[in-house]
Amino acid sequence: GNSVTQMEGPVTLSEEAFLTINCTYTATGYPSLFWYVQYPGEGLQLLLKATKADDKGSNKGFEATYRKETTSFHLEKGSVQVSDSAVYFCALPVGGGADGLTFGKGTHLIIQP
């Protein structure tokens, strides 16, 4: 099945710093790719997605580009805020025709004022 490797945290940054969270995947074909975010005490929320190669997903100032050449889907934000503190998960379908997702281990992001 498909799999994903994600940089592990915690990642601690100062407010307004540039953020990159690396994500690489192994997959059959070209599945959709996702970033989910989990704020403290809440469920996972879809942050952004890309459905085909070279697509760029974006939301709330976050971006990620589907790179099939490097099998990567790195998450970036130009200027982080304290409110971005959360756990971020990279994900893609498990494969084999199933709809469930396989996730990276999650990256805990801490933004200090």
Partner 1 sequence: GAVVSQHPSWVICKSGTSVKIECRSLDFQATTMFWYRQFPKQSLMLMATSNEGSKATYEQGVEKDKFLINHASLTLSTLTVTSAHPEDSSFYICSASLRALSSYEQYFGPGTRLTVT
Residues in contact with 34: Cβ distance below 8 Å, sequence separation at least 6, in sequence order: 46, 47, 48, 49, 90, 91, 92, 101
The answer to the question of residue 40 lying near partner 1 (CB under 8 A) is no
**Element housing 11 (H / E):** strand 11-14
Among 53, 82, 98, 110, indicate the residue that binds partner 1 (CB under 8 A).
98
Contact 107, 87 (CB under 8 A): yes
Residue of 19, 25, 34, 86 that binds partner 1 (CB under 8 A):
34
Per CB under 8 A, the list member of 12, 45, 79, 112 interacting with partner 1 is: 45
Q: Is 12 in the site for partner 1 (CB under 8 A)?
A: no
Question: Binding of partner 1 at residue 53 (CB under 8 A)?
Answer: no
Among 30, 100, 110, 112, binds partner 1 (CB under 8 A): 100
Q: In this structure, how many other beta carbons lie within 10 angstroms of the beta carbon of residue 66?
A: 21
Query: 72, exposed or middle or buried, with CB in 10 Å at 0-12, 13-18, 19+?
Result: middle
Q: Which of 78, 100 has the CB closer to partner 1?
A: 100
Residue closer to partner 1 by CB (options 49, 77) is 49
